[in-house]
Amino acid sequence: MVRAISNSSPLIHLSLIGRIDLLRRFSSVIIPPAVWHEVVEDGDDRPGVAEILLLRKEGCLSVIQPKNTDLLHLLENDLHRGEAESIVLALEIEHDILLLDESEARRIAGSYNLNVTGVIGLLLRAKRDGHISSLEDEMARLRNEGHFWIRESLYNYVIESEKKMDDD
């Protein structure tokens, strides 16, 4: 199975649309302390916190501190702390995929040749693998309930991808 490192955004947005269960498709999800703080400690009244706490209790989610503080401080010039910690952690420990949504964080992660996807990529994979029935419904919920900004061209691409999956 796949081991993931995640920033806050995928956790928060999956929680907001009630799809934190998609994280169970990974053998483990690793987050840095800044992400834990933002999602759980600062988000105690948000939907999904109980599910995230359960994932940790079950051993599916763990918190690991990145070690390279020099790189962390450098990345914090351009990124939020959780994004910077996630990228540094991805450079330090074995993993298969890094979950990031913010474009600048994805660009920087790409410059380190890290394999990155975001919440939309997770939804696409879940549809492809039969874990969700309607990608269009999930995308609408992501926009409306999750307040997730999706570029119109990307939204249309995803909907077209779903039609192709349904035709196959």
The model's pLDDT over 150-162, given as tens digits with 9 standing for 90+, comes to 888 988 888 888 8
- Check whether residue 44 and residue 19 sit in a common domain: yes
- Check whether residue 37 and residue 109 sit in a common domain: yes
For residues 117-132, give the mean pLDDT.
Answer: 93
Assign 63 a pLDDT band (cuts: 50, 70, 90).
very high
Residue 93, both tokens? 């420990």
- Check whether residue 66 and residue 111 sit in a common domain: yes
> How does pLDDT run across 25-52, given as a tens digit for each residue?
999 999 999 999 999 988 777 777 888 8
- Check whether residue 7 and residue 61 sit in a common domain: yes
pLDDT of 138 > 80? The answer is yes
9, 26, 94, 122 from 131: Cα distances, Å: 21, 13, 26, 11
| Phi, psi of 116, deg, nearest 5 | -120, 140
Structural contact between residues 11 and 31, judged by C-beta atoms closer than 8 angstroms: yes
Q: What per-residue confidence (pLDDT) applies to 51?
A: 86
What are the E-state strand segments in the chain?
2-6, 26-31, 61-63, 97-99, 116-117
Residue 139, both tokens? 């995308």
Domain assignment of residue 149, given as a range:
120-167
Which has more confidence, 116 or 48?
A: 116
- Check whether residue 87 and residue 151 sit in a common domain: no
Angstrom distance (rounded) from CA 50 to CA 56: 10
Structural domain count of the chain: 2
For residues 77-89, give the mean pLDDT.
Answer: 97
Q: What per-residue confidence (pLDDT) applies to 36?
A: 95
- Check whether residue 62 and residue 103 sit in a common domain: yes
Q: What per-residue confidence (pLDDT) applies to 168?
A: 66
For residues 113-134, give the mean pLDDT.
Answer: 93
For residues 111-120, give the mean pLDDT.
Answer: 96
8-16 helix and 49-57 helix, angle to the nearest 10 degrees: 120
2, 51, 88, 138 from 159: Cα distances, Å: 26, 28, 33, 11
Which H, E and C letters describe 51-80, residue by residue?
HHHHHHHCCCEEECCCCCHHHHHHHCCCCC
pTM, whole model, 2 decimals?
A: 0.91
